[in-house]
Amino acid sequence: MKFKAIVADIDGTITCEKRELHLGAVKKIRTLKLPFVLATGNILCYARTTSRLIGLEGAVIAENGGAITVRFDLQGTYEESMEECEKAYSFLSRYFNLTKLDPLYRKTEIALRRDFDLEKARSLLKTQNLDVEMVDTKYAIHIKSKKVNKGVGLKKLANMMGLKARDFVAIGDSANDVEMFEVSGFGIAVGNGDEIIKEAADYVTEATYGDGTIEAIEFLEEKGWI
């Protein structure tokens, strides 16, 4: 097996436990000769800034696949899915006191503070005919279009880079990384990952957070797969 690129989640994967960027992981990523893409549920400017400060090229998937850029000097693309998310948000606001995260910058989905009963919200939402779903990343609960996810985003971005999603190894830690594992050639969950992502993974690291990403890259190097 030989892979041509790596796509990694940000929060919980290249960070430390308290969410600071993991400097050891950054150092390791900087040694790589192949393209390294960031994929996050967070907003596009957060993803692009992280890419810039790591020393990468600006190929990022943000808002769980809703926003993509391939290079810093190119305009991003956005999916048009906010309207249904807003309807779901208004409906759920009747039952819960919800707090939006970064609403000024978020263009394709809604991220909420994790301080309400997700299972109850999910069952309430089922009564509505909306094309949205809720995903918990452990950092936020996202209301997003069912059509958009990091897997769909990876296919699109890979195509823009002249690659296939299968050419990528994916590294991640939570439920919003599952589809990216499904479309990539090989999925690695870091040790702190949720059960759902560990089940979807081809390999699970012993180490957690950024140390898990270092271990993942070393594993790929030892195998000669990158």
Ligand X SMILES: O=C(O)COP(=O)(O)O
Q: Give the Cα separation of 198 and 204 in Å (integer).
A: 6
**Is 176 one of the binding residues for ligand X (CB under 6 A)?**
yes
In 10 A of CB 99, how many CB atoms?
13
Residues in region 92-121 near ligand X by CB under 6 A: 111
Q: State the catalytic residue, choosing from 9, 136, 194, 211.
A: 9
Alpha helices, DSSP H, located in 55-115: 82-93
**Is 10 one of the binding residues for ligand X (CB under 6 A)?**
yes
For ligand X, which is the closer residue by CB, 85 or 140? 140
Partner interacting with residue 109 (select from Mg ion, ligand X, none; CB below 5-8 Å by kind): none
Partner interacting with residue 180 (select from Mg ion, ligand X, none; CB below 5-8 Å by kind): none
**Is 66 one of the binding residues for ligand X (CB under 6 A)?**
no
Token pair in block for residue 12: 């919980």
Cα Rg of the chain (Å, integer): 17
Partner interacting with residue 40 (select from ligand X, Mg ion, none; CB below 5-8 Å by kind): ligand X
What is the layout of strands, in order, in the sheet containing 141-145? 110-112, 141-145, 132-136
Site string for ligand X, 183-222 (x = CB under 6 A): ----------------------------------------
Partner interacting with residue 140 (select from ligand X, Mg ion, none; CB below 5-8 Å by kind): ligand X
Q: What's 108-164 look like in SS3?
A: CCEEECCCCCHHHHHHHHCCCCCCEEEEECCCCEEEEECCCCHHHHHHHHHHHCCCC
**Is 40 one of the binding residues for ligand X (CB under 6 A)?**
yes
For Mg ion, which is the closer residue by CB, 12 or 58? 12
How many alpha carbons fall within 13 Å on the CB side of residue 99?
A: 6
Enumerate binding residues for ligand X (CB under 6 A).
9-12, 40-42, 111, 137, 139-140, 174, 176
